[in-house]
Structure 1
Amino acid sequence: MNRIRVAIDGPAGAGKSTVAKMVAKRLGLLYIDTGAMYRAVTWKAIASGIPFSDEEQMVELASTIDISFDSDDDRQIVRVDGADVTQQIRSPEVTEHVSTVSAIPGVRSQLVKLQQKMAGRLGVVMDGRDIGTCVLPDAEVKIFLTASLEERARRRLEELLSKGVRTDLEEVMASLARRDEMDSTRDLAPLRKAEDAYSIDTTGLSVPEVVDRIVSICRQRLGTNQ
Structure 2
Amino acid sequence: MNNNAMTPVITIDGPTASGKGTIATQVAQKLGWQILDSGALYRLTALVVTRQEINEDDMAAVAQAARQLDVRFVDGCCLLASEDVTQALRAEEIGLLASKIAAYPAVRDALLARQRDFRQGAGLIADGRDMGTVVFPDAPLKIFLVADVQSRAQRRYKQLIDKGVSANLSDLLADLQARDLRDSSRAVAPLKAAPDAYTIDSSALSIDDTVAQVLQYWANLQN
TMscore range, shorter length: over 0.9
- Partner AA of 1:79 in structure 2: L
Match of 2:28 among 9, 24, 29: 24
Match of 1:33 among 33, 37, 47: 37
Over aligned residues, Cα RMSD in angstroms? Answer: 1.2
- Match in the other structure for 1:15: 19
- Partner AA of 1:176 in structure 2: L
TM-score, structure 2 as length reference: 0.95
Gaps of 5+ in 1: none
**2:74 paired with 1:67:** no
Gaps of 5+ in 2: 1-5
SS of the aligned residue for 1:119 comes to coil
Deviations 1:150-187 (A, max 9, x none): 00000011111122221121111001001000000000
**2:112 paired with 1:112:** yes
Trace 1:53-64 onto structure 2 (pairs within 5 A).
53-64=57-68
* Structure 2 Cα separation of the partners of residues 146 and 115 of structure 1: 22
**1:112 Cα offset (Å):** 1.3
CA contact (8 A) 2:34 2:121 kept: no
TM-score, structure 1 as length reference: 0.94
**1:121 Cα offset (Å):** 5.3
**1:122 Cα offset (Å):** 4.8
CA contact (8 A) 2:7 2:119 kept: no
Deviations 1:13-68 (A, max 9, x none): 11000000000111111011001111011011101100111112111111111111
**2:194 paired with 1:194:** yes
**1:3 Cα offset (Å):** 3.4
* Structure 2 Cα separation of the partners of residues 92 and 192 of structure 1: 23
* Structure 1 Cα separation of the partners of residues 48 and 161 of structure 2: 24
- Partner AA of 2:148 in structure 1: S
Deviations 1:61-109 (A, max 9, x none): 11111111011xxxx1011111110000110110221111111111111
Structure 1 stretches of 4+ moved >6 Å = none
Trace 1:97-108 onto structure 2 (pairs within 5 A).
97-108=97-108
**1:222 Cα offset (Å):** 2.0
* Structure 1 Cα separation of the partners of residues 33 and 219 of structure 2: 13
* Structure 1 Cα separation of the partners of residues 58 and 12 of structure 2: 31
